[in-house]
Structure 1
Amino acid sequence: MRVLHFYKAYLPESMGGIEQVIYQLCQGSAAQGIDSHVLTLSAEDGAKDFALGSHQVHRANLDFYLASTGFSYSAFKRFRELAAEADIINYHFPWPFMDVVHFASSVRKPTVVTYHSDIVRQRRLLQLYKPVMNRFLGSVDRIIAASPNYMHTSEVLTRFASKTRVIPYGLDKSTYPIAQAERLNHWRQQFGPRFFLFVGVMRYYKGLHILLDALEGTHYPVVILGAGPLEQELRAQAQRLGLDHLHFVGRLGDEDKVALLQLCSAIVFPSHLRSEAFGISLLEGAMYGKPMISSEIGTGTSYINIHGETGLVVPPSNPPAFREAMRTLWDNPELAAQMGVRAQERYERVFSAQRMCEQTAALYQELLDAPHEQAEPLRMSSKP
C-alpha cells in the first residue's frame, strides 16, 4: 500500500508537532507494509526530493504567502503525479491551499484528513474560507481526530461526526537519541537537581506569559527550551518581573532535549487557547515519565494529562492556579514521582507510535475495501 501525505511544512525545514506526527506515521507504518511519501512546500532555492528514514519526501517550491497560507504553482502538478501512484491520500488540516489542490486535481483515490486543529485566530478570514472548508471536509472519506476531547468540543468535527474516527497521536521512543553522560552532567551542573521544563515554540497560544506571571515571587527553577516569534517579548517580561531563576536555552538538538526531559522534575505546559489541539511536547514528557501541569482548554492536552493522575490541570489564563500547581509538585516530590510513573504507563498504553500506526493502517485498509466517490471540482458561488 502506498500512502501520500500532503502538508505545508515538513522536516527538516520545520520542526513542529504536526511534522513530528507525520514523521512517526511514516516511520512506524513501514512495519504495516505501507510505502509512505510526503509532499510539502519548501522555501529553499532548488530544493530537491530526498529520503528520510524509511520514507520519501517530495518538495514543491513555496512561491508566496497569502493570509499566512503558503501557495505553490508547482504543487498542483507534483500532487497529481504523486496522487496517481498512491493508494491512499492523507491530507493534514488546516491548510486552505490544500483544499484547492484537492478539488483542482479531481482526486479519484480514497482520502483521509488528519484534523490537527480548528482555525482559531483568523476568524474573519475563516468566514470566507468556511464554504470551501466544509465542502472539502464533506468530500473526503474519513477524518481522524487525535482525541475524543477535541472531537467533542470542535464545532467543525461535530458536523462531520459520522465520518470522524479518534486515533491518538503516538511517539516511538526508540527514534529519540540516548542522552550521553556528558550531556546529562552538563545540564545538571547548569540547573541543579530539580527544575521545571517547557519545550516548544514561543507562539501566541503557548501561554508562556501566563507561566512567567505565575513565577513572580517564587524560587522554582524553570527552563524554556525553544525559540519563536515571542522570544524577545518574553525575555523582556522575565527581566521586568525579576525572574533570575528562569532560563532560556534556545533551540537545542535532540540529544540535549532528551537530556533535559530526563533530568527535569516536571513539565509545564501553559497553553491557553484551542490552537493547542494536542501537545506533542506534553506527550514527550509523559513518555519520559514526568508529571505535567497543563490548562483545561477542551483539547487533547487533557487527554494526555489526567488531573490528579498523571499531573495537574488548572483553569486557563490563571497564573495563581498555575503557581499553586507548581508549588504542589515542588513541595511533594513523592507525589510528583508517582504521577510521573502513571504518565509513562498511560503513554505506553494509549500513545505509542505502534498503536497509532496500526489503527491508521486498519483505517486505510477499510477504505481500500470500500467503494469511494470522486471529489467534484470546486465551483465558487456568490450564494451564502
Structure 2
Amino acid sequence: MKKILHISKYYYPFSGGTEQIARDTVLALKGEYEQKVIAFNDGKEDKVDIVDGIEVTKCGCFTKIAAQSLSSSYGRHLHKVMREFNPDVVVFHYPNPFVAALLLKELKKSKAKLVVYWHLDIVRQKYLKLLFEPQNKELLNRADKVIATSQNYIEGSKWLQSAKSKCVVVPNCINVERMTVTPDIEKRAAEIRKENKDKTICMAVGRHTEYKGFTYLVQASKLLSDEFHIYITGKGELTEKLHEEAKGDSKITVTGRIEDTELKALLLACDIFCFPSITKNEAFGLALAEGMYFEKPAVTFTIPGSGVNYVCLNGENGIEVPNRDVDAYAKALTKLADDPEMCKQMGVNAKKRVVDNFLNDQFMENVRVAIAKVM
C-alpha cells in the first residue's frame, strides 16, 4: 500500500478552515493509502494522537511570530517520519513557512512526490511575504501537483500563475453530517426567533482577525434600523476591539466561541448570513458555504482573486458590494430585509449552489483523483 504523509499547521480537534480541510483530505484517502499526519500542538508539549484511526504527531509550540508557530522539536520529528515512514507522497498544506523550510531540506534526500495544497497567499505580512519569496519559488518548483481551492484564486495569485500547469482545482466542501439538525437544535432556533420577534436576524462566523472584516460589519450595523440583530460568533486577537467598537449598539451581540449546537441553531434561525471578509487571506470561505447550505442569502465584499465571490454569486445567492464600503453593506442588508421574497429565493439558490458544487462527496472524489494522478 502506498504511503502519504500529510503536513498541516494544526489538526483536529483544533478548529479552523485549513485544519478541517486537512482532516477531510485524510478521510477522503483513508483505506486506499497508509497515512500519517504531522502538525503543531496548540500546547508546548509533544504528543501523538490517533484521530480517525490515523497517527497524528503534534509538535509542541513554544511561541508564535506573525501568526507562525515555532517548535524546537519539529525538525527532529519530521526527519524521523520522513526516514522511518518513507512516504511516497507528501501533502503539504500552505502557508506554513517555518515547516516549509524544514520540509524542503528533507525532500532533497527523498524521492517522495510533493503535493502543495495552496490555501492562500501570504498577504497581510508584507515583510514576511518578501522574505519567503525564494522559499515559495523552491516549493512550487519542487511540487508535482498544486491544489487550489478555486479558479479565481489561480487567476488572482502571482504564485499560482507561475505554477499554473501544475494546478488542479479542488473546491473546499462542507460535510453534510456536520450540518445535521436535531430536534434540540430546532427548538433552540425557535427560541432565538422568539427572542428576536419581528427583527431581521443576521449572523457572522469566524476568527476575530483583521482579514475577516468584522469591524466593517460593526460599522454597518450603526447605519441599520433597530429592526436588525447581528450575532458575531468566534473569538481572536480582535475580540476585545470588537466589543469596544460595538459598545452602545444593542443590535450587535458578540457571542464568543459557542458550542456546535448553538452555532447550528443560529444558522437555522437567522435570515441573512454576513461574510464581510476583505482580503485574499479568505481564499474560499468554508463558513460562507455552510451558511448558504442553511438556505441563507449572503452579503459579501468584492475580493479580487479570492474564491469568496466564486462561492456566492452576486444577485443569485446573495449580494456583493464594493470592498470595505460600509454604507453599501448596510444597504444590501436592508434590501434583503425589505424584500422577504427575494431573500427567501436567494436562500434557496444558495443551498442549491452548495449542493451542486460544494458537498463532501464531491470533494472526496476530487481529492482521490488529484492524488491518484501523482502516484
What TM-score do the two structures reach when normalised by structure 1? 0.89
Amino acid at match of 1:88: V
Deviations 1:206-249 (A, max 9, x none): 1111111211142221111111111121111112xx42111111
Q: Distance in 2 between matches of 1:307 and 1:3?
A: 39
Instruction: Give the match's secondary structure for 1:18.
Output: helix
Q: Which amino acid aligns with 2:193?
A: R
Contact 1:7 1:98 in 2 (8 A): no
Does the Cα contact within 8 Å between 1:267 and 1:290 map onto a contact in 2? yes
Specify the alignment match of 1:229 in structure 2: 237
> What is the CA–CA distance in structure 1 between the aligned matches of 2:72 and 2:364, rounded to whole Å?
32
Which of 347, 353, 364 is residue 357 of structure 1 equivalent to?
Answer: 364
Secondary structure at the residue paired with 2:343? helix
Structure 1 counterpart of 2:11, one-letter code: Y
- What does residue 253 of structure 1 align with? 259
Aligned pairs (5 A) from 1:176-325: 176-179=179-182, 180=184, 181-192=186-197, 194-218=200-224, 219=226, 220-239=228-247, 242-298=248-304, 299-325=306-332
Partners of 1:313 and 1:352 in 2: CA distance: 23
Q: Distance in 2 between matches of 1:266 and 1:35?
A: 43
Structure 1 counterpart of 2:92, one-letter code: Y
**Residue aligned with 1:104, SS:** helix
Q: Take 1:66 and 1:329, find their aligned partners in 2: how far apart are those partners?
A: 41
Q: Aligned ranges for residues 79-90 of structure 1 at < 5 Å?
A: 79-83=78-82, 84-90=85-91
Conserved? CA contact 2:8–2:22, under 8 Å: no
Shift of 1:321: 0.8
In 1, Cα distance between equivalents of 2:253 and 2:42 = 32
SS in 2 for 1:90: strand
Of 153-162 and 182-191, deviating more is 182-191
**1:169 correspondence with 2:172:** yes
TM-score normalized by the length of structure 2: 0.91
Q: Say whether the 8 Å CA contact 1:27–1:54 is kept in structure 2.
A: no
Aligned partners of 1:4 and 1:37 also within 8 Å: yes
The answer to whether the 8 A contact 1:26-1:54 is kept is: no
Residues 221 and 245 of structure 1 are in contact (CA less than 8 Å); yes or no, is this contact kept in structure 2? yes
Cα distance change on mapping 1:37 and 1:289 into 2, 3 Å:
farther
Alpha-carbon deviations, 1:1-50, whole Å to 9, x = none?
Answer: 443211222222x31211111122223433x7344432111142544222
Residues 1:318 and 1:190: Cα distance change in structure 2 (over 3 Å) = same
Match of 2:132 among 129, 132, 145: 129
The one-letter code sitting in structure 2 at the alignment partner of 1:196 is C
Equivalent position to 1:334, from 329, 332, 341: 341
- Structure 1: which 5+ residue stretches go unaligned? 369-384
Mapped partners of 1:17, 1:74: distance in 2: 25
Q: Deviations over 1:90-148 (max 9, x none)?
A: 10111111221212213321111111111111112222221122111211111111011
Cα 1:256/1:37, change in 2 over 3 Å: farther
- Give the match's secondary structure for 1:339: helix
User: Cα distance, 1:276 vs. partner?
Assistant: 1.3
- Quote the offset at 1:73 in angstroms: 3.2
Change (3 A) 1:157 1:267: same
Question: Which stretch of structure 1 is more off in the superposition, 19-28 or 352-361?
Answer: 19-28
Tell whether the 8 Å contact from 1:177 to 1:254 is kept in structure 2 after alignment: no
Count of matched residue pairs: 364
Deviation at 1:303, TM superposition (A): 0.8
Please give the root-mean-square deviation of Cα atoms over the aligned residues, in Å: 1.9
Q: Is the 8 A contact 1:29 1:358 kept in 2?
A: no
1:85 deviates by: 4.1
Percent sequence identity over aligned pairs = 28
Larger RCO (CA under 8 A, 6+ residues apart): 1
1:148 matched to 2:151: yes
Structure 1 residue 54: deviation in Å?
A: 4.6
CA distance in 1, matches of 2:239, 2:66: 23
Instruction: Give the letter for the 2:316 counterpart.
Output: E
Partner Cα distance (2:121, 2:286) in 1: 16
The answer for the alignment partner of 1:8 in structure 2 is 9
1:33-48 alignment, distance < 5 Å? 33-48=32-47
C-alpha displacement of 1:250 = 1.1
Partner SS, residue 11 of structure 2: coil
CA 99–355 in structure 1, closer or farther in 2 if over 3 Å, else same: same
Residue 23 of structure 1 corresponds to 23
Q: Does the CA contact (< 8 Å) of 1:4 and 1:36 recur in 2?
A: yes
- 8 A Cα contact 2:5 2:35, kept in partner: yes
- Paired amino acid for 1:29: L
Provide closer, same or farther for how the CA distance between residues 2 and 265 of structure 1 changes in structure 2, counting only shifts above 3 A.
farther
* Aligned-partner SS, 1:247: strand
Aligned residue for 1:136, secondary structure, equals helix
Contact 2:36 2:54 in 1 (8 A): yes
Deviates more, 1:167-176 or 1:78-87: 78-87
* Distance of 1:191 and 1:10 partners within structure 2: 37
